[in-house]
Amino acid sequence: MASGIKDKVVILGMGCSKFGERWDCNAQDLMVEAFEEALADAGIERKQIEAAWLGTAIEEQHLGKSAVPLAMTLRLPYIPVTRVENYCATGTEALRGAVYAVASGAADIALALGVEKLKDTGYGGLPQRGRGALNDLFWPNISAPGSFAQLAAAYRAKHGADKGDLKRAMAHISVKSHDNGARNPKAHLRNKITEDDVMRAPMIAEPLGLYDCCGVSDGSACAIVTTPDIARGLGKKDLVAVKALQVAVSNGQEVQYDQWDGSYFATTRVAAARAYQEAGITKPREQVSLVDVHDCFSVTELVTMEDLQLSPEGTAIRDVLDGFYDAEGKVPCQIDGGLKCFGHPIGASGLRMVYEMYLQLQGRAGARQLKAPTWGVTHNLGGFPSQNVAAISVIGAYGA
């Protein structure tokens, strides 16, 4: 019987580029920026890395389909390098490859790096990718804001939520992310906003206004992982371990049967339950210290709080408005600014979330440092509410 990966792998070092409109850089520059920080943090030489995974989603725009650009850019020592892609969960998928390699004993030290260069493609959002699942075959005549607006409508209908309360909770989420992002020197957006700014902003897809939507960014993030024994042998203390990594992918049931009512993410609920079991978390609302979730839209963050079992079903609006997920709340959410403000370079986002968990657990998060966190949860969601991939990681102090 599978025993899981809890405490079999620790993070030796991490790095993250500044996110934003990086007109002065190409994808390779961003990769080097994240990798050099991770390598220095790990305190090793690149020749000690035995395997690597590259995560990038919109590869047509910068690196191409092969993993060769990672090996060449970083001058890796003729090791196996694998490119992965899984929509917005791509960065977590790269980390999963590296972690599983170490946990299995196939490699002593492995690298995961995610990168995306999107701001100079000529598109305001994600660029078109030709024929395929992102436009005319599976998802014709649909937009991301439109589909997530339907999520808001379904949630409101199911739980009898007051329209004004939902809008205020969504505004609170956006204001919170901007407040947190303002304290993060690597964040794309560092401007504070007010609830009034959110309420008065142009409508994109009712009830989602301009400030309810995240944009896309240029950026890269990187992790180097190993075993606890090797990390200790290298003089590392206060080890940060990977407690769980779980991925769940839609199988068509959400859109082909009517059990799913459109008010939640079935994949997130499945992946979260598996991750908590693997990590040994039995009471998420009490045990989890902080979360970084896929806040592509403010309503996505709200609904995800219930899918992650942090808010009882139908109560997330109240928890958000009560400040439960604020920086000073019980379970801070998006303490680094999240997708909304740190930014969303697709292939890097999952690793960027883990980067924040790692810094927080080591007490190195600077102005946004929380008091003594012990368990961090990250969540990616790629695709639309009805067809998506969800990835969950649980990061915590080794042995806890």
pLDDT digits (tens, 9 = 90+) for 49-79: 999 999 999 877 778 888 999 999 999 999 9
- The span from the CA of 127 to the CA of 223, in Å, is 27
| Radius of gyration of the chain from its Cα atoms, rounded to whole angstroms | 20
* pLDDT, position 131: 41
CA dihedral 118, 120, 121, 126 (to 10 degrees): 40
CA 26, distance to chain mean position in Å, is 22
pLDDT digits (tens, 9 = 90+) for 119-155: 876 666 666 554 444 444 455 567 889 999 999 999 9
Instruction: Output the six-digit token pair for 229.
Output: 């024994």
- Which structural domains are found in the chain, ordered by start? 9-119+218-240 (3.40.47.10), 144-214+242-397 (3.40.47.10)
* pLDDT, position 259: 87
**Nearest to residue 250, comparing CAs of 265, 233, 235?**
265
- The span from the CA of 35 to the CA of 54, in Å, is 12
* pLDDT, position 64: 80
What's the chain's average pLDDT?
Answer: 94
- The span from the CA of 76 to the CA of 81, in Å, is 9
* pLDDT, position 133: 43
For the chain, where are the alpha helices, taking DSSP H only?
A: 27-42, 68-74, 90-104, 144-159, 163-181, 195-200, 228-233, 253-256, 266-279, 284-287, 298-307, 316-321, 338-341, 349-361
* pLDDT, position 253: 87
Instruction: Output the six-digit token pair for 334.
Output: 């998006």
- The span from the CA of 217 to the CA of 348, in Å, is 10
* pLDDT, position 207: 96
Q: Say if residues 175 and 193 touch (Cβ distance below 8 Å).
A: yes
Burial class (CB in 10 A: 0-12, 13-18, 19+), 366: exposed
Q: Which residue type does 76 have?
A: L
CA 291, distance to chain mean position in Å, is 10
- The span from the CA of 381 to the CA of 259, in Å, is 21
Residues tagged active-site: 88, 344
Q: What is the pLDDT along the chain (400 residues), one digit of tens a residue?
A: 688 999 999 999 999 999 999 999 999 999 999 999 999 999 999 999 999 999 999 877 778 888 999 999 999 999 999 999 999 999 999 999 999 999 999 999 999 999 999 887 666 666 655 444 444 445 556 788 999 999 999 999 999 999 999 999 999 999 999 999 999 999 999 999 999 999 999 999 999 999 999 988 999 999 999 999 999 999 999 999 999 999 999 998 888 877 899 999 999 999 999 999 999 999 999 999 999 999 999 999 999 999 999 999 999 999 999 999 999 999 999 999 999 999 999 999 999 999 999 999 999 999 999 999 999 999 999 999 989 999 999 999 999 8
Complete DSSP assignment for 184-211 = -TT-S------HHHHHHSPEEETTEEGG
